[in-house]
Amino acid sequence: MKNYYSYNIKTICILIVEDNGYVVEIAFAKKEIEGNEKETDVIKQAAAQLEEYFAGKRQSFDFPINLQGSEFQKRVWVALQNIPYGELRTYKQIAEKIGNSKASRAVGMANNKNPLPIVVPCHRVTGSNGKLIGYAYGLDMKAYLIDIEKNAAGLL
């Protein structure tokens, strides 16, 4: 049975979903979830680390996660986790990284289905011209997350 709990971090509503001791979803909005509204230890750990991230004090996460998606999506999500904090890559670079240079559009679709934004940093992916495109939570949120990282890394 899934457990979920919502937090307000930096005025952003963040919903964290846990299933069998693993965080399986993070969303930037309240939504209907089948399960119990319960603040478990894993959810608390994830919330604390996300709060540190938004404060510019955390660059990686170590709470347990379970990525649920197709094999292709999982390959993309693993590649995203290898993008260094504060750096950006293009959809094409990610497609090349997973061994299919013509899969830029499919990489974008996998990003759109990413159940663990921030932890699996799909916000670090841009169009080939370096412009911000395609973020499930809007380009303002994508720019905000990139700015947090660039400020914390001293790149702005």
pLDDT in tens, 5-51: 999 988 899 999 999 999 999 999 877 788 899 999 999 999 999 99
Name which residue leads in pLDDT, 99 or 156.
99
d(CA 59, CA 12): 19
Find residue 8's DSSP bridge partners. Answer: 13
| pLDDT, position 11 | 84
Check whether 96 has a pLDDT greater than 90: yes
Positions annotated as catalytic residues are: 122
Q: What percent of the chain has pLDDT over 70?
A: 99
Identify the band that residue 143 occupies on the pLDDT scale cut at 50, 70 and 90: very high
Contact 80, 87 (CB under 8 A): no
The residue whose two tokens read 């990525």 is 67
| pLDDT, position 130 | 85
Task: At 90, give phi and psi (nearest 5°).
Answer: -95, 165
Closest by CA position to 6, among listed 100, 37, 14:
14
Identify the band that residue 121 occupies on the pLDDT scale cut at 50, 70 and 90: very high
| pLDDT, position 32 | 79
Check whether 111 has a pLDDT greater than 70: yes
CATH 1.10.10.10 holds for 71-152: yes
The three-class DSSP label of residue 30 is: coil
| pLDDT, position 156 | 60
The residue whose two tokens read 């949120």 is 141
- Positive or negative CA dihedral for 97, 101, 106, 107? positive
Domain boundaries, the chain: 2-54, 71-152
What is the average pLDDT value for the chain, to the nearest integer? 93
Return the DSSP state at 60: -
| pLDDT, position 34 | 85
